[in-house]
Amino acid sequence: MVTAFVRHRGRAVTLPRRDVDTDQIIPKQFLKGVERTGYGPALFYDWRYRPDGSPDPAFELNSPGAEGATILITGPNFGCGSSREHAVWALAQYGFRAIVAPSFADIFTANCYRNGLLPVRLAASEVDALIRSTEGLHEIVVDLERQVISDDRGFTAGFTADAYGRDLLLRGVDEIGRTLLEEPSIAAYERSHP
């Protein structure tokens, strides 16, 4: 079952890097689990923690005020690389509800929509404007129903979510349950393609 996402208000943290790959989002040593939960502490592990296990104060998520942020603003091609859904689980279980970037990798995007995490694609100039506007870590609002992201300092931008993914998120649909209702079509396809 997908966690529904209609409208979310929260604080943002900025990670100004491009090509953040899923190996960075969750390093391989955390992929050995057989559960879907418990990945939040592993998020950005090698960037968040020094080799001795202490938090690295230079990393954006460890900066004062970043705690409790639910929206991540970042650079282009976010989520590239490995298909590991653990990356999305880690982001969601850490507490993120939306990621704002100029572009996302395809598999990562598909994984987001199936886990209640909204990828918000804006033009690079809009992302920059949003970063400037959110200095001081105030709250922004992501509205999936209207497909608008805004803050109370005058920033507003429209975005276009993937139509199918938007539907999954707005209604919190059990995708498999829904596809199983297509049984007659699937069976017909199988009969015509033995």
Say whether residue 33 binds other proteins (CB under 8 A): yes
- Tell me the closest approach of the beta carbon of residue 152 to other proteins, in angstroms: 28
Say whether residue 76 binds other proteins (CB under 8 A): yes
How many residues make up the chain in this entry? 194
In order of 15, 83, 108, 171, the CA distances from 26 in angstroms are 15, 11, 13, 28
Q: Name 89's Cβ contacts closer than 8 Å, sequence gap at least 6.
A: 26, 36, 37, 39, 115
Question: Exactly one of 6, 19, 65, 158 binds other proteins (CB under 8 A); which one?
Answer: 19
Question: Exactly one of 62, 63, 103, 147 binds other proteins (CB under 8 A); which one?
Answer: 103
Question: Exactly one of 8, 10, 11, 21 binds other proteins (CB under 8 A); which one?
Answer: 21
Beta-bridge partner residues of 71: 12, 98
Question: What is the distance between the alpha carbons of residues 6 and 118, in angstroms, rounded to a whole number?
Answer: 10
Q: Are 2 and 176 in contact (CB under 8 A)?
A: no
- Tell me the closest approach of the beta carbon of residue 96 to other proteins, in angstroms: 17
Which 8-state DSSP code applies to residue 104? B
- Tell me the closest approach of the beta carbon of residue 170 to other proteins, in angstroms: 14
Say whether residue 114 binds other proteins (CB under 8 A): yes
Question: What is the distance between the alpha carbons of residues 58 and 13, in angstroms, rounded to a whole number?
Answer: 14
Say whether residue 121 binds other proteins (CB under 8 A): no
Q: Are 149 and 123 in contact (CB under 8 A)?
A: no
Residue type, 64: P
Question: Exactly one of 4, 6, 7, 31 binds other proteins (CB under 8 A); which one?
Answer: 31
Nearer to other proteins (CB atom), residue 55 or residue 68 = 55
Nearer to other proteins (CB atom), residue 135 or residue 176 = 176
Kindly state the greatest CA–CA separation across the chain.
61
Binding-site ranges for other proteins (CB under 8 A) = 16-19, 21, 23-24, 27-29, 31-36, 46, 51, 75-77, 80-85, 88, 103, 105-107, 110-111, 114-115, 162-164, 175-177, 179-180, 182, 185-186, 189-190, 193
